[in-house]
Amino acid sequence: SAETANGANAAPSAEDLKVYELSQKYTAEVAKRFRPEGLDQFVRLKDAGSERFRALAEDPWVDHVALNAKPPVKDGSKYKFVILGAGYAGMMYAVRLIEAGLASGPDDIRLIDASGGFGGTWWWNRYPGLHCDIESYSYMPLLEETGYIPTKKYVSGSELLEHADRIATQWKLHDKALFRTNVKTARWDDATQLWNVEVTEGRGPGEQNRDLTLQGQYVIIASGVLTNPHVPKIPELETFSGPLFHTARWDYKATGGTPQDATLTGLEGKRVGVIGTGATAIQAVPRLAKYAKELYVFQRTPSGVWWRGQRETDPEEWKTKIARKKGWQRERRLNFETYVTDNVQEGQENMVADGWTEMPGFSALLGSPRYPLVEPTPEKIAEHIGRLYKLDAPHSEAVRARTDEIVKDPETAAKLKAWYPTWCKRATFSDEYLQAFNQPNVHLVDTDGKGVDSATANGLVVAGKEYPLDILILSTGYVTPSIGGGSPAMRTGIDVYGRGGRSLDEKWKSQGASTLHGASSNGFPNLFFAPLSQSSHSANNVFTLDVGSQHAVHIIEQAEAKAGGSAIIEVTSEAEEAWALEIMKRAPWFASVMVCTPGYITAEGEALKQPEDPMEMAKNARAGNWTQGIVTFIEALEEYRADGQLKGIDVVART
Ligand code: FAD
Ligand code: NDP
């Protein structure tokens, strides 16, 4: 409550009361959904006990014949840069290295990926309705450099995949990739001053897998954040007798259609079930609703669904307003950031002008340059969360009101409303999802926060009722990126051993995240990570990755200049501790997620359990991020790089 001039408490305003009521409602919803099993309620598809689930993790799109026709990579091959991951991140690292003149030879770069081709997320995900949720003009990497004009404001997954291929062609990456290959370990060898990277290359049905050890002077872990599809441990799920698959490995044989053409004729006359209502389901459900005889959407927690505003790119607007001058994409991205980090200046032009730019509350997750650091006292933290609630309430109320406006049946509308602040889940945008629930063949099965109870050969069971189904689609998401406090090794499913055989995971477990700028860690020379912990994030992931790749490549460039050629680059422990302190100072800002409904942002609720051990608390704080938004983070990195001294990084010439 507000204080009067003489210190007495004034009566709370109507707005305060409303926000208080809202917070009470949100808290009750969290309690309803909290599950003590946390992350253990799911199993990674590729680790599942059931062979059926493990098979679901395989790559449906790989062309083994074409890949087997390529000259095989020889065991023991040596590269200057081994890049783990051939998604947009891995590709951006490769492009920046090439552009910096650091990788001009034929064996300077090798990108390794478990997938059958470039694209990462956009390789694996090909479900109907897939498109980027950040405007493509800002999201798609290297638009200025490729000169490509996206066809729509939010282009399809297929167009995003084609763009990956365009980048690979322009920078001649096709012969620098090793696909169908799982990286298992990366081991630093002090004697050779190289990384040994152990991989298994799959060669397809009837062919022998190949175990290889590749050597790299530098290793870059660009293995993505949402790469491991998981499935809830719903009893008897594997006994379902009809087709069953995860959205990240769509089965067009079961549904009909192709990734380019969502005419899902295979669903005609069929009863289709979808488990999950996250950002994926929001995009896929309208397409399924069009073709299925009956569609059952099994919901645990609804998504807040805001407007999309999809449209074709207008060539005139592109020329005159969007790609209007050199450097336009960076300018557009920076402009977008001011909205999502609650830092809009008066009179400023809103270049992107989409739904994202109407949710300043997202700054709870991204930080904001407008506010001082939050002091770590209960009062100041409560004040911070109160301010965020207030900032977010108009938007989250508008999202709920929109649900009422669109969904005709009031009972269904009520169940589709999201009762948590905007920042607790990826915001979603659609002009078709809520509308689909007005179709007579679309049925919402709301589980009241509990989830599906069990499965049978015929369908799914919720609250004692069986829903018979012919096809079942798992839209149940991915292993949380913050697993293991954001350890790049654990997230990637590999073992990384640095100097003296020290395990990277062990380091994270014993002392918490330890990096300089989220980019590299002491004891792990010449190893760089795509940004996760201890860096800064944008809602536009490609921007985050672009900033991270530019920073790492600058460091390598400056170090090699300093060393007069090949370098060994190692962050000092003093520098990483100083950086950890910077991050810990900012940790109270992220108390904002403590009010969130469980999901991958809260490690399925595990982040809500506050440890009592001060060491564990400190580790949690170290796994945080910069809280003044990515724009000031970029400024901090640029300032760091300006003198070329690489303060806090030891650089020696490779002998
Ligand atoms: P990825 O694209 O995930 O690529 C990482 C690659 O590493 C994968 O191909 C994986 O196979 C490989 N890999 C990982 N571990 C290993 C290993 N041990 N061995 C071998 N290979 C390995 N973000 C946005 O900003 N806007 C969006 O609209 C958006 N839409 C998305 C839609 C979906 C369905 C998903 C899942 C994510 C979306 N994201 C979006 C987030 C998206 O992941 C990023 O935007 C971006 O594409 C990530 O690129 P990346 O290269 O870092 O990771
Ligand atoms: P999510 O993790 O967001 O969603 C999984 C869904 O499965 C949730 O609705 C979850 O409910 C539900 N679920 C989990 N367990 C059960 C259960 N036992 N019973 C019933 N329901 C269950 O995964 P998505 O694939 O939807 O999205 C992951 C991320 O990928 C997004 O947040 C976004 O970052 C990115 N993405 C972006 C897209 C874009 O717009 N371009 C499109 C798709 C994804 P609950 O919420 O209660 O846990």
State if residue 136 touches ligand 2 by the CB under 6 angstroms criterion.
Answer: no
Q: Considering every ligand atom, which ligand is closest to the CA of 429? A: 2
Please calculate the CA angle 248-37-50 and round it to the nearest 5 degrees. Answer: 45
Determine the distance separating the centroid of ligand 1 and the alpha carbon of 8, expressed in angstroms.
53
Confirm or reject: Cβ of 278 under 6 Å from ligand 2: yes
Q: What integer pLDDT is reported at residue 482 of this predicted model?
A: 81
Mean pLDDT (the chain) is 96
Structure tokens at 252: 């067009």
pLDDT tens-digit map of 116-132:
999 999 999 999 999 99
Ligand 1 atom at minimal distance to the Cα of residue 226: 36
> Does residue 430's CB lie within 6 angstroms of at least one atom of ligand 2?
no
* CA distances for 507 relative to 93, 291, 495, 512, angstroms: 25, 51, 12, 7
Strand partners, 183: 199
637 lines ligand 2 (CB under 6 A): no
Q: Which letter does DSSP use for residue 597 in this model?
A: P
Q: Cα–chain-centroid distance for residue 319?
A: 31
Say what angle helices 378-406 and 14-33 make with each other, to 10 degrees: 80
Report the separation in Å between the CA atom of 185 and the middle of ligand 1, taken as the mean of its atom positions.
Answer: 20
* Ligand 2 center–CA 477 separation, angstroms: 4
Distance 264 CA to ligand 2 centre (A): 22
CA of 19 to the centre of ligand 1 (A): 36
Q: Say which ligand is closest to the CA of 529.
A: 1
Tokens of 185: 């370990």
pLDDT in tens, 367-381: 999 999 999 999 999
- Region of residue 354 (phi > 0: left; psi between -120 and 50: alpha; otherwise: beta): beta
Shortest-distance atom of ligand 1 to CA 133: 28
Q: Are 190 and 208 in contact (CB under 8 A)?
A: no
The yes-or-no verdict on residue 1 having pLDDT over 70 is: no
The ligand placed nearest to the CA atom of residue 33 is 2
Query: Can you tell me which residue has the tokens 């694996």?
Result: 124
Residues 6+ apart with CB under 8 A from 427: 133, 304, 306, 355, 356, 359, 362, 539
Q: By three-state DSSP, how is residue 306 classified? A: strand
3-state SS, residue 100? coil
Distance 275 CA to ligand 2 centre (A): 9
Whole-number Å distance between alpha carbons of 275 and 232: 10
Model confidence pLDDT, tens digit, residues 377-393? 999 999 999 999 999 99
CA of 432 to the centre of ligand 2 (A): 18
pLDDT reported for residue 605: 85
* Strand duo 428-429 + 305-306: pairing: parallel
**Which residue matches tokens 């590269």?**
79
**d(CA 218, ligand 1 centre) in Å:** 21
* pLDDT of 8 over the 60 cut: no
Q: Is 272 in the pocket of ligand 1 (CB under 6 A)?
A: no
Point out the ligand 1 atom lying closest to the alpha carbon of residue 538: 25
| Phi, psi (degrees; rounded to nearest 5) at 337 | -55, -35
Ligand 1 near 545 CB (within 6 A): yes
CA distance 312 to 646: 45
Asked if residues 630 and 637 have their Cβ atoms less than 8 Å apart, the reply is: no
Q: Is the pLDDT of residue 3 over 60?
A: no
Q: Residue 602's pLDDT is what? A: 87
420 pocket-lining for ligand 2 (C-beta < 6 Å): no
Does residue 494 have a pLDDT over 60? yes
Three-class DSSP labels, 444-476: EEECCCCCCCEECCCEEEECCEEEECCEEEECC
Query: Would you call 408 helix, strand, or coil by DSSP?
Result: coil
139 lines ligand 2 (CB under 6 A): no
Instruction: For 345-362, write each residue's pLDDT tens digit.
Output: 999 999 999 999 999 999
> Which ligand has the nearest atom to the CA of 301?
2
Residue 2's pLDDT band (boundaries 50, 70, 90)?
very low
pLDDT digits (tens, 9 = 90+) for 581-597: 999 999 999 999 999 99
Question: Which of 574, 625, 575, 602 has its CA nearest to residue 373?
Answer: 625
pTM > 0.90: yes
Tokens of 469: 């189904």
Question: What's the pLDDT score for residue 9?
Answer: 66
Distance 224 CA to ligand 1 centre (A): 4
SS (H, E, C) 128-183: CCCECCCCHHHHCCCHHHHCCCCCECCCEHHHHHHHHHHHHHHCCCHHHEECCEEE
Closest Cα partner for 526 from 187, 77, 113?
187
Classify 352 as helix, strand or coil. Answer: coil
Distance 542 CA to ligand 1 centre (A): 10
Percent of the chain with pLDDT over 70: 99
Q: What is the pLDDT of residues 596-646, one digit of tens each?
A: 999 888 888 888 887 889 889 899 999 999 999 999 999 999 999 999 999
Across residues 327-355, what is the average pLDDT?
98
Token readout for 228 is 């491991």
3-class SS at 20? helix
ipTM above 0.90, yes or no: yes
Mean pLDDT of 181-185: 98
Q: Which tokens belong to 380?
A: 């100041």
| Euclidean distance between CA atoms 30 and 597, whole angstroms | 5
Specify the ligand 2 atom closest to the Cα of 425: 32
Predicted pLDDT at 6: 54
CA angle 201/120/334 to nearest 5° reads 145
Q: Angle of helix 541-563 relative to helix 629-642, nearest 10 degrees?
A: 10
Q: Note the pLDDT of residue 182.
A: 97
Categorize the per-residue pLDDT at 467 as very low, low, confident or very high, splitting at 50, 70 and 90: very high
DSSP string, 520-568: B-TT-TTEEE-SBTBS---SSHHHHHHHHHHHHHHHHHHHHHHHTSSEE
